[in-house]
Amino acid sequence: MTTTPTGPVRVHRDQLTFTLYGTFVMWGWFLYSFNPSVPLLTADLGITRAQGGLHGTALAAGSVVAAFLTPWLVRTYGRRATLMAGGFVVAAGIVGVLLGTSLAWTLPAMFVVSTGSNIAISSAQVALALHHRGVASAVITEANGVGSSLGLLGPLAVGGAVAAGWGWRPAVAVTAVLAVLTALFALRVRLPSRETRAHVVASVDDSGPTAAGPTAATPAEPGPVRRWPGRTARLRPQTLASWCFLGAILAGIGLENVTTYWSADLVIGQTGAPAGIATATTAGLVAGMSLIRFVVGPLSLRVRPAHLLTASFIVAVVGWAVLWTATVPAVALAGLFVAGLGYGAQYPLAISLLLRAAGAAVDKAQARATLAGGLAIGVLPFALGALADAVGPHRAFLLVPVIAVVGAVAAMAGARASRGDEGA
């Protein structure tokens, strides 16, 4: 059965919630300070754009390793120890990136950063889903909003540091400080285990919302079994929905990373802006992402998240169109902001929908999402960088609306598959 709360749904934020948010702040700062710095790093090392895009491939490799490692680490050492270990690994990797003078140094260091970051984020994200249950879509979206809001300072810090003649490295170094602080704060809280989820699901299914708080829908409910056209086998809607939302995750992460990696290069080529200003325009993307996350989180408790997810890919295409046709930095900034309004909703909505469909198997679902994210990060920035080397950044950015259309189709299919589940 599907349980509907009798009163208004509220999010209770406690010390654990804010501690877990710190992991998203660390990750947001890293993404939005390092990714816009890739063209600058490429120039520093004297390499091609495609070779610069290999840093995304290194991030992907780390994501794949983390996808397999995290469930085992959580089972063996517990979620808190796993999250803390991820933070310290991030700090070590950042030092390697900053001191690296060639791809032989920076690529392995990026692998280390990615492994630690994905271990920490996976641990924190599942912990939020376990802790907040039926309002997980709102909390996970808010967590990503907090991360991108403070990450908004990242490209501004890079632009300011470059303008001051310091280069991009001081801004990226802040990531190591945030990673260590988050790991230390995790010592003061107790993170929920996987077994807690199974108990919660049983409680909700048997007797409705428990004393721990209201739940908008039962995450583990398998839903009615229905036949789909052209298939002789019976397929559970949530199984199909899981794969669809996994595809939306891949598209959303791909969009965010190709844009943050190469939009500065596009702005330089199309507007003639200096590197510092072009890099700082990425802040428009992050601002849009941050703003929409604080809007779409509460909205997802009233409007089906799958429908919001579909709309987010449409908004992303609109923002791309403004950016792609811009000839002055101000218009490019506006295009990035609109694109951010789409991008910002995609990952948090898709991951919350995926975890909801997974029921008690949240760690496995999160591992699959990490794997999908690694694939997106590893292939798409490299592909766009290689295209930019061949045909220029402007034509290469035609890849962006293609990815967005794929994401929209996946989201629509997921919405259809989950149509019978309230709140999906």
**pLDDT tens by residue, 13-68:** 777 888 888 899 998 899 888 877 887 888 888 888 778 878 878 888 888 888 88
How confident is the prediction for the chain on average, in pLDDT?
78
Counting every residue, how long is the chain?
424
pLDDT range class, residue 343, cuts 50, 70, 90:
very high
CA angle 345, 322, 309 (to 5 degrees): 20
CA pair distance 175, 159, nearest whole angstrom: 16
**Residue 333 forms part of a structural domain:** yes
CA angle 2, 3, 9 (to 5 degrees): 130
**Residue 4 forms part of a structural domain:** no
Residue pair 320/306 in contact by the 8 Å Cβ criterion: no
**Residue 320 forms part of a structural domain:** yes
User: Chain-centre distance of CA 281, in angstroms?
Assistant: 20
CA pair distance 170, 334, nearest whole angstrom: 27
**Residue 212 forms part of a structural domain:** no
For range 307-335, the mean pLDDT: 92
* DSSP alpha helix (H) spans, 78-135: 79-99, 103-132
**Residue 7 forms part of a structural domain:** no
CA pair distance 404, 228, nearest whole angstrom: 25
CA pair distance 134, 138, nearest whole angstrom: 9
pLDDT range class, residue 231, cuts 50, 70, 90:
very low
In sequence order, what DSSP letters do the residues of 178-219 get, joined into one string?
Answer: HHHHHHHHGGGS-PPPHHHHHHHHHHHHHHSS-TT---SS-T
The CATH number of the domain holding residue 310 is 1.20.1250.20
Q: Quote the pTM value.
A: 0.66
Tell me, what's the pLDDT at 93?
94
Closest to 126 in 3D by CA, of 364, 289, 376, 372: 364
If one counts every other C-beta atom within 10 angstroms of the C-beta of residue 51, the result is 17
Residue pair 302/247 in contact by the 8 Å Cβ criterion: no
For range 205-211, the mean pLDDT: 29
Q: How far is CA 206 from CA 69, 203, 304, 363, in A?
A: 34, 5, 24, 23
For range 294-319, the mean pLDDT: 87
How does pLDDT run across 141-199, given as a tens digit for each residue? 788 778 878 877 888 888 888 888 888 889 999 999 999 999 898 887 776 655 444 43
Tell me, what's the pLDDT at 119?
92
* DSSP alpha helix (H) spans, 152-186: 153-163, 169-185
Residue pair 276/40 in contact by the 8 Å Cβ criterion: no
For range 209-228, the mean pLDDT: 34
Tell me, what's the pLDDT at 86?
92
Compare 400 and 393 and report the one with higher pLDDT.
Answer: 400
Buried b (16+ CB within 10 A) or exposed e, 298-320: ebbbeebbbebbbbbbebbbbbb
If one counts every other C-beta atom within 10 angstroms of the C-beta of residue 200, the result is 22
For residue 113, give both structure tokens.
């950063």
For range 356-368, the mean pLDDT: 72
pLDDT tops 90 at residue 94: yes
For residue 139, give both structure tokens.
């909390």
Q: Which domain holds residue 248?
A: 15-203+235-417
Residue pair 228/416 in contact by the 8 Å Cβ criterion: no
Domain count for the chain: 1
**Residue 30 forms part of a structural domain:** yes
Tell me, what's the pLDDT at 238?
64
- The proportion of the chain whose per-residue pLDDT surpasses 70, expressed as a percent, equals 81
**Residue 6 forms part of a structural domain:** no
If one counts every other C-beta atom within 10 angstroms of the C-beta of residue 291, the result is 18
Q: How many helices (H) and strands (E) does the chain have?
A: 17, 0
pLDDT range class, residue 422, cuts 50, 70, 90:
very low
Buried b (16+ CB within 10 A) or exposed e, 228-264: eeeeeeeeebbebbbbbbbbbbbbbbbbbbbbbbbbb
Q: Phi, psi at residue 394, to the nearest 5°?
A: -65, -50
**Residue 220 forms part of a structural domain:** no
